[in-house]
Structure 1
Amino acid sequence: MPALLAVRRRLDSSVQALVSDEDAITFAGLDEASRRLAARLVAAGVGRDSRVGLVMPNGIDWAVLALAVTRVGGVLVPLSTLLRPPELLAQLRTAAVTELVVVPRFRGRAYLDDLDEAVPGLAERVRGGVPHAEVPSLRRLWTPDELPTGEAPGAVVDGLEKSVRPADDLVILFTSGSSGGPKGVIHTHGGALRAVASGLEARRIGRGERLYIPMPFFWTGGLGGGLLSALVAGATLLTEAAPEPARTLRFLERERVTLFRGWPDQAARLAAHPDFASTDLSSLRPASLAAVLPPGLRAGPGARANLFGMTETFGPYCGSPLDTDLPAGKHGSCGRPFAGVEVRIADPVTGVPVPPGTEGEIRLRGPNLMRGIRGRDRADVFDADGFYPTADAGVLDEDGYLWYRGRLDDMFKVKGATVYPLEVEAALRAVPGVREAFVTDVAGEAGDRQVAALVVALPDGENHPAGRAAPAGRAGLVEQARARLSSFKVPTRWLVVSDPHDVPRLASGKVDGGALRRLLREKGA
């Protein structure tokens, strides 16, 4: 990261690096601001053994702080602003966060209060310099306005920057684990930046591009696909703390956006807004999402590659130029693997490679992959040949094109975020009045994926272990779910039954997934 910042300052000193809402900063400004803040953090004890957590919305402050930490060898731990108190506590523990910077309030949330809800007295105690037994690694807690002011000598900061190597850990990114618990994915400087660089050509991001990414920086799509893509390419990143259609359209017009990437459903919402027709987006190029492009620049269904990736690969690892149709016979594919990632299709049980054209589990190996997962042995993460079993099903054809077939487990994505039914089911079972809960995904009217839940209510007179009254219908369930889960995990389609026999099951006694989806689609609300 220190070397990358030096390159951008040398080549693109006066170019805007980041535009956020009404603020902007050049590459030189980003380098200078992060360098000054790094000196302050080092004086306060942040260094190569530090894992610094950030709970902040997108913006210049987020970028400056992240670069300040990583340029002196600290490990960045981006934390979602959507986390509920128990989720935040679990991730702090998993990553063994040593310093935490948390914005006091954002979108109605008070994060210091959330910390104290998770562990009474945690915020006050750590802010007073006293570790808490519930999170023993946490040494310091600051809001952005409370960051230390004293600076370490320049020679010390220089020495730390020179000591950073590509093999050093850069970031711990969280994604849901198969058991529903937090999974901290570790990426090194070299692996993450190589992964970003390998996908720039397919994503059509180069020097001078003005890239809009709505995704939060705490997700791979925002950090790798946005902030680090701009740094590696010499492009300008446009981002917002809280996107809202009318304001976003004005922002895109004012900033002459050339590439709109991110969530297809957000692009569709912008296109459906009354102000869209009068907004000048003529600077957009064909590699942008189709919904915001004029009809003449849109590709046919399946004609462009479905960029395919995951947190473990730090973004897309497979693709094809987004402004060019795939070859005949390859429509609907994900394109071909990027440099730095080897794709193997294997029998999911034996791990034995299968012939081209045969469906199996997608397994990955190469220098662009994660180094590992926090708290797990390498042997538990990679197979005997060093491949990472993704639990994704796919086909690799004779020409090396990858075709995604779905998940081998029951994970699904909602607006680009990972949802594991097991996690949501466990949260719903803790709700008073709930005997059982079964969660899956169903297609919404717009073709998007929605979280859906079948809840079996306790009979009248039967007490929940928590000893509290049942929630008042669907509204009560939603309220209870929101208190326990990030917003994107809260079911939007519900069906409440009183008879456990209403749950569709196979002869084996397992829940019939297909029948469950049909039932929720037909009778859920």
Structure 2
Amino acid sequence: MSPRIVKGPRISFEEITKGLGEVFFEAAGKYADNICQIEAETGKTETFRSVKERSTRVAIRLLEIGIKPGDVVACCLKNSIDSAIPVVASLYINAKVASLDVLQSSRDCAHCIQLVQPKLIFVDEDAETLIENSLVEAGFDNVGIIIVGTSSKHKMLSEMLTPCATESGFKPVAVKDCHDTAFLSFSSGTTDRSKAICITHFGLLNKIALQIRAFKKQVVSMNCASLFWFLPVAMFTQAMISGGCRVLCPEFDVETTLKYIEKYKVTFFTMPPAHTYAMVNSKNLHAYNVDSLDLLLITGSPISPGQLTKMIQLFPNVFVTTGYGATEALGGVTLLDYRSCKGLLTSKIGSVGKCAPNMEIKVVDVETRETLCANKEGEICIKTPYSMNGYYKLDSSSAYDSDGFIKTGDIGYYDEDEFLYIVSRIKEMFKYKSWQVAPTFVEEVLEQHPNVKEAVAFGIPHEIDEFHPAAFVVLKEGAEASMEDLQEFVSGQVSEFQKLRGGIKIIDAIAKTPSGKKLRRENAQMFLKLQRNV
């Protein structure tokens, strides 16, 4: 069989060439009386008319304080009735939107701030101290802070929501080029820390417009993650341009999630594989009516075939599925649709599905970069008209091959029926739940300990969480440190997902190549062997 590029169905439609702010503004007028968002915990609802009005007022205030088209406005917000307003307002004035996460450490947050250099940050009241500390660490002392909630130190969002004399005549700022950046979505590079992925107006609007065609009715969607993650950004965009409703849930809990699905008649819910274990083990699942649910998408990291089967059995009347995606390609690259073929789950066990519409995939030899044929493992590369605009203020040339395909860093293959399978990762990154962990960053923290000579960090496989961060440490000659001391040292400086749950072991020497490069995979295997021998 000859090498080939695997292509999804080609679907033609009238492409959107306006900006997100313009499209959101028009849609809010069209769907004015539709419920746009529901705050799950409190039951508060808001119509598109209200979202448009509040966002317009904030947009006018942003212009008044000097925020210009093209400036970066960051948001560090939990899911709430107010969290969308600064985002929509920023898009109305054609500012770029970057989202931070309240669960980040100040060090990670500072790194993201340095990458995108925002003029202003909207901050959840619970994250006020986090952002203040992050700005100090980043060396930025001229960034404005607006608190969503209450504050005695900073301007509050509520002050920007009072009526404006000019609001009735307000029009969004038109984009000059629909291929300009709208969102900056943080993701991890292949071997290092976060990069800011440039999501374009054209890419996001048309990728979502394509996906909306698959839904037969108005969607009520729910996701427990913040807009720091790309999937919630995509779901937010879907609701805003189609008149759908978002149910805003701040965190995942099985009982609470099921209660919200029943109460608000959610039709589309997404979750990471790590949450499926709690769902499968729930004893009260059948106490809730989830008949409204049409689609349950499990994504963010791979799910085992056995676990996917359990979820399908748990929700027999729901399309429970998974796929493969990349933020650089604006989400879904493949989708596993087993409804079209009886026995697909067993005949294509472990597959992440077939190529999505208007998407191209090729598998190349890691060394020679030659395109491979079916059933040959290599690096997965993807191409789509909706892909990213590169990494913000960074040289992005190495992210693409000579044909314009994005290099994913994932190893896999496609079979003779063009179903894709993910085997491993070239990347040194690994995932704890849905969070990308950069081992080099954890190593940097460990090596700041006064008694540590060097360290190597890696992921240890975990049944539920995918990987747990772990490390080998070499102490300086004559120095002493306990594993508990080192754990405490790291925990005080990293985000929750970067903590060394897999453990720390003190050894005499780290396995390296002759040139001195740390052999991360070999060190991880040695760590597992030592664990088994304990």
TM more than 0.5: yes
**Alignment of structure 1 residues 121-132 onto 2, 5 Å:** none
- SS of the residue 1:373 aligns to: coil
Instruction: Tell me the alpha carbon deviations over residues 141-186 of structure 1, each in whole angstroms, 9 at most, x when there is no partner.
Output: 222352464858458842x433465222111111122342321110
Alpha-carbon offset, residue 369 of structure 1: 0.5
Structure 1 position 297, deviation (Å): 0.9
- After TM superposition, the structure 1 stretch with the greater mean CA deviation from structure 2, 316-325 or 39-48, is 316-325
Residue 513 in structure 1 maps to residue 521 in structure 2: yes
In structure 2, the CA distance between the partners of 1:428 and 1:381, relative to structure 1 (3 Å rule), is: same
Instruction: Give the whole-Å Cα distance in 2 for the aligned partners of 1:251 and 1:433.
Output: 50
Rounded to whole Å, the distance in 2 between the matches of 1:519 and 1:141 is 44
The residue type paired with residue 519 of structure 2 is V
The verdict on how the C-alpha distance between 1:521 and 1:324 changes in structure 2, with shifts beyond 3 A counting, is farther
Q: TM-score, length-normalised on structure 1? A: 0.82
CA distance in 2, matches of 1:403, 1:208: 32
Which residue in 1 is equivalent to 2:94?
73
Q: Closer, same or farther in 2 for the Cα pair 1:193/1:425, shift >3 Å?
A: same
- After superposition, the C-alpha distances for 1:299-339 in whole angstroms (9 at most, x for unaligned) are 9xxx9763111121121122144765577444432222223
User: Does the 8 Å contact 1:40/1:152 carry over to 2?
Assistant: no
Cα distance, 1:323–1:17 mapped onto 2, change above 3 Å: farther
Residues 69 and 252 of structure 1: CA distance in aligned 2, closer, same or farther (over 3 Å)? same
Q: Aligned-pair distance for 1:404?
A: 1.9
Q: Which moved more, 1:320-329 or 1:50-59?
A: 320-329
Q: 2:369 aligns with which of 328, 351, 358?
A: 351
CA distance in 2, matches of 1:232, 1:322: 29
Bigger mean CA offset, 48-57 vs 380-389 = 380-389
Does the 8 A contact of 2:280 with 2:311 survive in 1? yes
Which residue pairs with 1:41 in the alignment? 62
Amino acid at match of 1:174: F
Residue 131 of structure 1: aligned partner: none
Q: Do the aligned residues in 1 keep the contact of 2:271 with 2:297 (CA within 8 Å)?
A: no
In structure 2, what is the Cα distance between the partners aligned to 1:286 and 1:38? 35
Q: Which residue of 1 aligns with 2:447?
A: 429
| Residue of structure 2 in register with 1:284 after alignment | 293
CA 1:266–1:35: 2 relative to 1, 3 Å: same
Alignment equivalent of 2:466, drawn from 444, 449, 456: 449
1:239 Cα offset (Å): 2.5
Residues 1:405 and 2:414 are matched in the alignment: no
Q: Classify the secondary structure of the residue corresponding to 1:318.
A: strand
Q: Percent identity?
A: 21
Partner of 1:227: helix, strand, or coil? helix
Structure-to-structure mapping, 1:371-382, within 5 angstroms: 371-382=389-400
Q: Is this contact kept in 2: 1:333–1:401, CA < 8 A?
A: yes
Alignment of 1:135 onto 2:108: no
SS at match of 2:412: strand
Q: Is the 8 A contact 2:461 2:467 kept in 1?
A: yes
Give 1:188 deviation, angstroms.
Answer: 0.8
Matched residue SS, 1:308: strand
Q: Which letter maps to 2:76?
A: V
Alignment equivalent of 2:237, drawn from 228, 233, 250: 228
Residue aligning to 1:111: 130
Residues in 1 aligned to 2:210 and 2:448: alpha-carbon distance in whole angstroms = 44
1-structure distance, mates of 2:97, 2:209:
20
What amino acid maps onto 1:249 in structure 2? L
Partner secondary structure for residue 351 of structure 2: coil
Cα offset, 1:414, TM superposition: 2.0
Name the amino acid aligned to 1:511.
L
Instruction: For residues 353-395 of structure 1, give each alpha carbon's deviation from its aligned partner in whole angstroms, at most 9, with x where no partner exists.
Output: 2234332212222321001111223433322222221211222
**Structure 1: stretches of 5+ with no match in the other structure:** 120-133, 464-469
- The residue matched to 1:409 in structure 2 has which SS? coil
- Distance verdict in 2 for CA 1:166–1:117, change over 3 Å: closer
Cα deviations across residues 86-139 of structure 1 (Å, max 9, x unaligned)? 222221121121212222325xx73244236526xxxxxxxxxxxxxx337x54
The answer to whether the 8 A contact 1:333-1:404 is kept is yes
2:189 paired with 1:194: no
SS of residue matched to 1:395: strand
What residue in structure 2 maps to residue 125 of structure 1?
none
CA 1:396–1:197: 2 relative to 1, 3 Å: farther
Contact 1:39 1:152 in 2 (8 A): no
Name the CA shift for 1:85/1:496 in 2 (closer, same or farther; >3 Å).
same
How many angstroms apart in 2 are the aligned matches of 1:79 and 1:64? 15
Q: Give the conservation status (yes or no) of the 8 Å contact 2:274–2:464.
A: no
Q: Is the 8 A contact 1:506 1:512 kept in 2?
A: no
Structure 2: how far apart are the matches of 1:36 and 1:243?
A: 32
Distance 1:251 1:236 in 2: 13
- CA shift in 2, pair 1:323/1:288, >3 Å: farther
Alignment of 1:8-157 (within 5 A): 8-20=27-39, 21-22=41-42, 23-106=44-127, 110-115=129-134, 118=137, 134-135=139-140, 138-144=142-148, 146=155, 147=157, 149=160, 151=164, 153-154=166-167, 157=170
Q: 1:505 to 1:46 in 2, by over 3 A?
A: closer
Tell whether 2:333 aligns with 1:312: no
Kept after mapping to 2: 8 A contact 1:38/1:72: yes
Paired with 1:275 and 1:207, the residues of 2 have a C-alpha distance of 29
Secondary structure class of the residue paired with 2:82: helix
For residue 54 of structure 1, report the CA deviation from its aligned partner: 0.7
Residue 182 in structure 1 maps to residue 194 in structure 2 = yes
AA at the equivalent of 1:243 = F
| DSSP-derived class of the 2:271 partner | coil
Q: Verify the 8 A CA contact 2:193 2:438 in the aligned structure 1.
A: no
User: Is the Cα–Cα contact under 8 Å of residues 304 and 323 in structure 1 kept in the other structure?
Assistant: no
Shift of 1:40: 1.7
Q: Which residue of 1 aligns with 2:278?
A: 269
Distance 1:432 1:31 in 2: 54
User: Which letter maps to 2:219?
Assistant: E
- Cα distance in 2, alignment partners of residues 304 and 241 from structure 1: 22
Q: 1:243 aligns with which of 231, 244, 252?
A: 252
Which blocks of at least 5 consecutive residues in structure 2 are unaligned?
A: 1-19, 150-154, 299-307
Offset, 1:504: 5.9
Between the aligned partners of 2:248 and 2:422, the Cα distance in structure 1 is 30
Q: How many residues align?
A: 490
| Residue identity in the other structure for 2:218 | G
The worse-fitting range, judged by mean Cα deviation, of 289-298 and 45-54 is: 289-298
Q: CA deviation at 1:413?
A: 1.9
- 8 Å contact 1:452–1:493 — kept in the other structure? yes
SS at match of 1:143: strand
Q: Is 182-191 or 369-378 further displaced after alignment?
A: 369-378
Which AA in structure 2 matches 1:167? H
> Structure 1 residue 490 and structure 2 residue 495: aligned?
no
Amino acid of the structure 1 residue aligned with 2:521? G
Does residue 167 of structure 2 align to residue 162 of structure 1?
no
Between the aligned partners of 1:325 and 1:24, the Cα distance in structure 2 is: 40
Q: Which has the higher contact order (CA 8 A, sep 6+)?
A: 2
1:314-393 alignment, distance < 5 Å = 314-321=330-337, 328=344, 329-393=347-411
Separation in 2, partners of 1:296, 1:102: 38
